[in-house]
Structure formats: structure tokens, C-alpha cells
Structure 1
């Protein structure tokens, strides 16, 4: 790969090479935000004519990996609603914040407006049952985290690190949902968390770091308790999960 070739140019070449019939294409992710590294992949949404095949695939082009979100014009609303149901909005954000690569007939512009309307509506609120389960699960992780130390067993340190990960993720998803914002996974989780709640989000992230660097679960436990207080407090006895027959 020529190190001087920009991600945008590579994405354009990819579209011209693989999808010359595309109705539109947009480059999202870190590359669209100017944060791409030489090894960053390309997140590209590709809009195809009806009758083609919607899919998600990973290819390598010009020495760089590209994750393609391929869908037809008719399928786009369905994909947007599925994205909304997952509460992450991955495809929605690509359309909203990405860089247009091709739009020969204006279909991309109209599809971006559809995506922005779904984003503006926000993710669906959690149901009462989902809130209760979230509080219960987070309380369980918190209890286990505070009860576990590197000295408890030969695997105590590994257990502590694993519990810190699960505690952070559950607390982050619930706190973001409390604010009615979009959540994320991987590197997008801390970004969405800090956007939704800079103070409590930072406390969770700093607490997680304290476990990783110093084997000290106290800051994360305190931050998690603060999140639970916002959500109605810890939930232990009295929790019931009904199973369908």
C-alpha cells in the first residue's frame, strides 16, 4: 500500500472497482473523522439498485481492509430500523457523519435524510423488564467485583479483570440508555459513554483503569454504585425474571 494514498482515495477506488453500478456510497468511521491510522480499516456503506443482494462483507483493497455495509435502496429503511433496535446506530452514524463518495442520482442524499430522521428519533427506550434485569445483572457484577481479589485463588487476578470488563460494559450501556443516547461497542463504547455523561462516564472509565493498572476495584465500585443510584439502586432479593413456556 502506498502510504501517501489517503483513505478517502482508497475508498473511492474501491467503489469504482467493485461497485461501478452503485447508487451511492459513503465513507464512515475513523477515516471520515480524520482519525485513521495506516492500519485502520475502511467503513463504507454502499447503496445498490433494487434486486441486488444486501450484505455485510470484509474485503482487502489497495492493501487496506474495508468493511462494507451493502444494501439496496428498498432495504435501507429496514436496515436502519434494525440498527435502531440494537441501540448502536452503526450504519445510521455512517450515513449521518460520513463522507459522500458517490451520489450520481441523488439517492444517497435522500437516504442520508432517512438515516438522520431515525437518529433524531433516538434509540428505543428500555422496557421495565430490561431496566430491572440490567440493574440486577450490574449489581451481581458489582458484588462479585468487590468480593474478588488477586489473593482469592490462582485465577483471582484474571477473574478481577474479567469482572471489571463486564461491570464497565453493563454500567455504560445502562447509563447511556438512562440519557436516551446511542450506545456502542469496542472503541465506540467509551466515546458514546463520555458523550452521554462526561462526569459519571469518566468515573467508570477511570475506575476500570484502576483495576487494570493497580488491581484496585474501589474506584470502579464507587462509580458503579453512583450509576445504580441514578437507576433506582442495587437490585438483589426480590428480582424475578419470568420465562416463557
Structure 2
């Protein structure tokens, strides 16, 4: 735990990507959340058109587990755009809140922090209906499940889905794994506590999910439609 993550991360980038325009070290290794298993999350920006971008690498360097996220300006823009649509700002957070170890990413970091602070775009009507329908369907499955094993599996799926939907209802960024809980806590610590407490009890999960569904506008099944674009016709040979 007394190793220098900044120095080691800087040495790794210099060794593997000496052409880097800038790089940042992010993640729990620089925070109070650091543990003995914390890794080095490093975002590397290469010159535009570099053949090594985009890529993700996992490796061990000086006993550190390392995750490298390698982009050039074009691929970074594309990936950030994808994250905004998915409402899961992993790369935004790494770049915006990371510590520079190579070059000067200040401009890009300011852009990412501004997006994080603004929050995601509200869902459109069709997207919101899809969320309501999905949560309604899981609740219905749980209520009518008779097989104990199936009920347990459905409850687990509903528990996690209800947390994602709670963030949708609040127009907050979403997350996966530990970031799902962190986003919930940042939004509403009491809600996050009730979500965690419900986990072992299918009845409590059902009650929590119904509360979230009400925040989204209530159950949706009868009359729901999801229209998809027609696939392009295959030209005859």
C-alpha cells in the first residue's frame, strides 16, 4: 500500500505509449476507497489516427493490476458519445476526475467535468415507456412465480433493475457494480439504504420496485407498443 501509483503509472505509459499526447490515472487507487486490490485505471490519448487506438489492455506492471483505456481524439469523442446515450459515464469520470500523469489534458478534463455536473439528458417518451414496461414485467413475474428457485432469480433481477430505474426516475447518471450503489448514495442515501436492506427479502424488493415504478408514472402493460425499424431488404444475387 506504500507504493507510488502516480510514478508507476507514469513509467508504464512512458514504456508502452511514448507517443502519448496525454494520460490520466483514475480510480479508487487515488482515493479513500483504495484497497490492497486497487488497480491502476489509466486513460491514454494518442495522436489522431494512431493505429493503436482504440484499445483496452489489462496487464500487471510492478505488481499493480492495470487497466489501460487507449484512444485518440476521434475515438475518445465516439466513446464519450456512446456513454452519454447509455447514461453510464465511466470514461467521463476517469478523464474528468483523474490525475494527469503525461501532457496537459486540462481542456478535455474540463469538458468531461461539465458533462458530469450537468447530468444525463432526460429520457424521451418512448424510452421511458420501455423502462416502465420492463419494470412492470419483472414485478408481474415475481408476483406470480410459484417455483422457489425462479422466484429467487426474479427477485434478484428485479432488485438490481429497480435501482437502475430509481436513477432514471431522478434523471441521474447510472452505474454498474459498485458504481450503481455509489450513484444511488449520491442521489439519495436513504433510498440507497432501503435498497440494500431489501435485497434478501422478495417482498421488500417488490415494495421497493413498486415505489420506483410509481415515480416513473406507474405500471405499463396494456396498450404498450415498441416499434422497431424494418431491416433493409437483401438484394438478390
Shared fold per TM-score greater than 0.5? yes
1:101 aligns with 2:101: yes
CA contact (8 A) 2:162 2:208 kept: no
- Structure 1 residues 81-100: aligned runs within 5 Å: 81-100=81-100
Distance in 1 between residues matched to 2:8 and 2:94, nearest whole Å: 17
Q: Which whole-Å CA distance do the structure 2 matches of 1:66 and 1:84 have between them?
A: 25
* 1:42 and 2:33 correspond: no
Aligned residue for 1:69, secondary structure, equals strand
Structure 2 residue 222 is matched with structure 1 residue 237: yes
- Distance of 2:228 and 2:84 partners within structure 1: 25
Partner secondary structure for residue 79 of structure 1 = helix
Q: 2:123 aligns with which of 123, 126, 141?
A: 126
Q: How far off its partner does 1:163 sit? A: 1.7
Aligned length, in residue pairs:
228
SS in 2 for 1:22: coil
Tell me the distance in 2 between the aligned counterparts of 1:161 and 1:8. 44
Structure 2, unmatched stretches of 5+, are 231-237
Separation in structure 2 between the aligned mates of residue 89 and residue 54 of structure 1, nearest angstrom = 18
- What's the CA shift string for 1:71-121, capped at 9, x where partnerless? 113443333222211211101001121122122xx3x11111221233234
2:135 alignment counterpart: 138
Q: Which residue is equivalent to 1:194? A: 185
1:9-20 equivalences in 2 (<5 Å): 9-20=7-18
**What is the aligned partner in structure 2 of residue 173 from structure 1?**
164
Query: What value does the CA root-mean-square deviation take over the aligned residues?
Result: 2.0
**Secondary structure of residue in 1 paired with 2:92:** helix
- Aligned-residue offset at 1:30: 1.3
* TM-score normalised per structure 1: 0.84
**Which residue number corresponds to residue 55 of structure 1?**
55
Change (3 A) 1:42 1:161: farther
Q: 1:98 to 1:160 in 2, by over 3 A?
A: farther
CA deviation digits over 1:170-196, x for unaligned, max 9?
Answer: 222222122221111111111112212
Please say if residues 146 and 217 of structure 1, whose CA atoms lie closer than 8 Å, have aligned partners that are also in contact: no
2:198 is the counterpart of 1:207: yes
Q: Per the alignment, in what secondary structure is the counterpart of residue 13 of structure 2?
A: helix
Say which SS state the counterpart of residue 226 (structure 2) adopts. Answer: coil
Task: Flag structure 1 segments of 5+ consecutive residues without an equivalent.
Answer: none
Instruction: Tell me, yes or no, if the aligned pair for 2:43 and 2:69 is still in contact at 8 Å.
Output: yes
CA–CA distance in structure 2, aligned partners of residues 36 and 55 of structure 1: 25
Equivalent pair of 1:26/1:46 in contact (CA under 8 Å): yes
Aligned to 2:112: 115
